[in-house]
């Protein structure tokens, strides 16, 4: 999922560059989320894109600076521990302030789950 997220961010940067050259409105990320999960089920990452400026989310100028961390766990009780580790990893990768944070998780209490945290590194 980490690789897929990075590929989607790179593709969005390229799409916005093409849209700018064509004098079309660039795409903003209004929200992101995960769905699915559990034993034997696939996780799906969704990015909600818009040409309107989102109230919260990432503007076209933010997207090249977006960093994200994903994790998979088997114990929902440890979700906080997984999330704290991911935040520390994200801060280390960013080496600067993090703004416009988007988080999410999917899965169930007695099954495998996935979480993510992504933000703009300023």
Task: Kindly report, residue by residue over 82-121, the tens digit of the pLDDT.
Answer: 778 888 888 887 767 888 888 888 876 566 778 888 889 8
**Measuring CA to CA, how many Å separate 11 from each of 2, 5, 18, 27, 117?**
14, 10, 11, 11, 19
The predicted model gives 51-57 an average pLDDT of 87
Q: Write down the domain spans for the chain.
A: 2-121
Tokens (6 digits) for 47: 């990015």
CA 6 to chain centre: 9
In the Cβ-directed half-sphere of 34, how many Cα atoms lie within 13 Å?
27
Band (15; pLDDT cuts 50, 70, 90)? very high
Q: What is the pLDDT of residue 18?
A: 97
Report pTM: 0.81
DSSP string for 52-63: SPPSSSB-TTTG
């Amino acid at each position: 999922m980490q690789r897929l997220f990075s590929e989607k961010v790179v593709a969005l940067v390229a799409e916005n560059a093409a849209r700018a050259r064509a004098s079309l409105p660039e795409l903003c990320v209004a929200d992101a989320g995960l769905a699915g999960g559990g034993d034997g089920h696939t996780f799906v990452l969704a990015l909600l894109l818009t040409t309107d400026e989102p109230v919260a989310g990432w503007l076209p100028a933010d997207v090249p600076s977006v960093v994200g961390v994903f994790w998979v766990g088997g114990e929902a009780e440890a979700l906080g521990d997984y999330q704290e580790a991911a935040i520390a990893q994200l801060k280390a990768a960013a080496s600067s302030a993090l703004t416009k944070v988007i988080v999410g998780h999917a899965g169930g209490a007695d099954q495998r789950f996935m979480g993510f945290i992504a933000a703009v590194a300023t």
